[in-house]
């Protein structure tokens, strides 16, 4: 049990958290933003560069692993970093995660074949999984919840920017100075983040006896890998219903059950089952999952829609997503300020579900003749809906637990949102692909639909008008109903948001030794040892 008589753990500078110098917090925050940017950029930066990379390294058959290796490693590491941060402190872990990420970047920048490139991406993921989680948790160590909403709003804006900036940067590097700069750019940014953390970050260090959750980690790793491979391979590398996909689904189900059993028995579970007894955690996590599905489903397929239907090139299709990012930034920054000023936040996820539902309905009405300006306005509405709640829901989770458990709770929330987004993207992709294949077979003259897998925007634009119009119409009619099919999910999300309890945002940091009512940890002994 926690030693409740242990003295308070002083901060490194010897001052109380409430008197922490604001300048130092801003410098720490700058490092956290850089680390979040690095982690989120590397999820998407290679999407536009992959064709060139795999051609140069002669590994087209392994192309998917460049993205999947990072995603699998990062998702597995999220709850591990969250739990360890709560137990042993976050400063050393944060610097370690950045160092691992940079090591992977160096290996990737020097890679001469696909094997080393995939290894590099996995190493990056091992570090990257901690950057996102630890950044959000470190803010909780130095800023009270009430003020934290302002910082979380900026983090949400950075995450949104990186979602679009990643593919654009990847394409620019590939076409100009070379794809390896997608790795080398991480080095100066990562070193700057490490320096800011080393000099200005002041956090308590715990003398803790850690009982690592070995079986929980193993079962989670197998389950997560299986789920992400199903989401990545289903309908692309392997047909839905194939032996490979069915085996992966079976592994995901079995090892998910074994993971729950392992967490039930573990002395220090990486995702304590006790968090699911907290109503706000469950509701906010589920609502965030639905928002993730809407966001990543749109980001994944709207650029393809713009290229095929609007006839723009790959770079332009990425730039046309900017209105969505402007909408996201506007509402994310505004809601962060409002929550800090008023302490009221429940209306934000409710409004988010309504605005997102409207945006998806608007997107479902698109036709090949819709004016580009109208489409961009719809994308702005979509971004505004995402920004209304994306980071506020993480704040709801953090406010529902003692500060000493905020890493575990934040990691669990992000973990399930990542899994949901992967599965949601797969479902959207399966629906889109299935409808597209059927429509092309139905509308194209005999035999031409068999070449559907070879259609590119350039090829489609070079076809005779009659054939091009059929293909463009098929792409439009295949994707737009998928947007409408997501609306019932947001209705469920709206109902969940309504039942979130608006707990007052804490205006001060808790003493380091304070234990919450739902403390999941055992065998932890803290001392007054500080850096």
CB 274 within 8 A of CB 520: yes
Say whether pLDDT at 21 is over 80: no
Q: What is the pLDDT of residue 499?
A: 93
User: What is the predicted pLDDT for the residue at 524?
Assistant: 30
**What's the pLDDT tens digit per position in 111-151?**
888 889 889 999 998 998 888 888 888 887 777 777 777 88
Report the pLDDT value the prediction gives residue 472, as an integer from 0 to 100.
Answer: 80
Highest mean pLDDT among 6-10, 341-345, 518-522: 341-345
Model confidence at 388: pLDDT above 80: yes
Of residues 310, 317, 321, the one with CA closest to residue 372: 310
Rounded Cα–Cα distance for residues 130 and 93 (Å): 8
Rg (CA), the chain: 23
Give the helix ranges, DSSP H, for 273-389: 279-305, 314-319, 322-342, 347-364, 372-387
Phi, psi of 238 (to 5 degrees): -135, 145
Rounded Cα–Cα distance for residues 309 and 302 (Å): 10
Contact 333, 153 (CB under 8 A): yes
- Residue 13 has a pLDDT of 41
**Most trustworthy range by pLDDT among 104-108, 270-274, 297-301, 365-369:** 104-108
Q: Residue 59 has what pLDDT?
A: 67
**DSSP code per residue over 314-333:** HHHHHHTTHHHHHHHHHHHH
Q: With CA atoms as reference, report the closest residue to 415 among 251, 123, 180, 216.
A: 216
Which pLDDT score, from 0 to 100, does residue 205 have? 62
Closest CA to 82 of 410, 394, 398: 410
* pLDDT for the residue 513: 45
What's the pLDDT score for residue 104? Answer: 93
Highest mean pLDDT among 47-61, 322-336, 452-466: 322-336
Distance of CA 288 to the CA centre of its chain: 11
Q: What's residue 112's pLDDT? A: 85
| pTM summary value | 0.78
Is residue 15 over pLDDT 50?
no
Q: Give residue-wise pLDDT tens across range 440-489.
A: 777 776 655 455 555 666 666 666 767 777 778 888 888 888 888 888 88
How far apart, in Å, are the Cα atoms of 400 and each of 164, 275, 304, 341?
32, 10, 40, 19
pLDDT at 68 over 60: yes
């Amino acid at each position: 049990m926690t030693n409740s008589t242990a003295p308070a753990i002083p901060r490194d500078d010897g001052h109380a958290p409430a008197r922490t110098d604001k300048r130092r917090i801003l410098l720490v925050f700058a490092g956290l933003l850089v680390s979040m940017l690095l982690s989120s950029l590397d999820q998407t930066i290679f999407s536009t560069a992959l064709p060139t990379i795999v051609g140069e390294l002669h590994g087209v058959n392994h192309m998917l692993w460049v993205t999947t290796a990072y995603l699998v490693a990062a998702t597995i590491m999220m709850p591990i970093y969250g739990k360890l941060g709560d137990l042993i402190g976050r400063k050393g872990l944060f610097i370690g995660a950045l160092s691992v990420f940079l090591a992977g970047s160096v290996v990737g920048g020097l890679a001469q074949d696909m094997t080393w490139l995939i290894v590099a991406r996995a190493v990056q993921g091992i570090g990257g999984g901690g950057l996102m989680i630890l950044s959000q948790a470190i803010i909780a160590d130095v800023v009270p919840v009430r003020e934290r909403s302002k910082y979380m709003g900026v983090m949400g804006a950075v995450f949104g920017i990186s979602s679009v900036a990643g593919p654009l940067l990847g394409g620019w590097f590939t076409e100009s100075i070379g794809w390896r700069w997608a790795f080398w750019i991480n080095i100066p940014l990562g070193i700057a983040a490490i320096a800011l953390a080393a000099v200005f970050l002041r956090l308590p260090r715990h003398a803790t006896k850690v009982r690592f959750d070995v079986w929980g980690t193993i079962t989670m790793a197998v389950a997560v890998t299986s789920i992400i491979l199903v989401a990545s391979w289903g309908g692309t590398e392997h047909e839905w219903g194939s032996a490979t996909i069915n085996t992966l689904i079976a592994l995901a189900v079995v090892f998910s059950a074994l993971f729950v059993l392992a967490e039930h028995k573990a002395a220090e579970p990486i995702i304590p089952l006790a968090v699911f007894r907290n109503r706000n955690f469950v509701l906010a996590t589920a609502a965030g999952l639905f928002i993730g599905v809407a966001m990543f489903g749109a980001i994944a397929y709207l650029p393809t829609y713009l290229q095929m239907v609007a006839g723009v090139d790959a770079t332009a299709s990425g730039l046309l997503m900017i209105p969505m990012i402007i909408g996201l930034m506007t509402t994310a920054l505004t809601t962060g300020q409002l929550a800090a000023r008023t302490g009221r936040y429940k209306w934000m996820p409710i409004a988010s579900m309504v605005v997102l539902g409207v945006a998806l309905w608007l997107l479902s009405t698109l036709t090949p003749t819709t004016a580009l300006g109208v489409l961009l306005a719809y994308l702005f509405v979509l971004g505004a809906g995402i920004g209304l709640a994306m980071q506020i829901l993480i704040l709801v989770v953090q406010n529902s637990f003692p500060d000493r458990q905020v890493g575990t709770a934040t990691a669990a929330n992000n973990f399930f949102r990542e899994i949901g987004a992967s599965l949601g993207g797969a479902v959207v992709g399966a629906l889109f692909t299935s409808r597209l294949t059927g429509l092309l077979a139905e509308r194209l003259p005999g035999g031409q639909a068999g070449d559907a897998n070879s259609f590119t925007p350039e090829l489609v634009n070079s076809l005779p008008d009659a054939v091009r119009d059929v293909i463009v119409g098929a792409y439009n009619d295949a994707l737009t109903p998928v947007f409408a099919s997501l609306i019932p999910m947001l209705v469920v999300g709206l109902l969940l948001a309504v039942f979130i309890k608006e707990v007052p945002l804490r205006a001060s940091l808790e003493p380091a030794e304070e234990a919450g009512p739902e403390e999941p940890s055992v065998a932890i002994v803290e001392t007054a040892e500080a850096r």
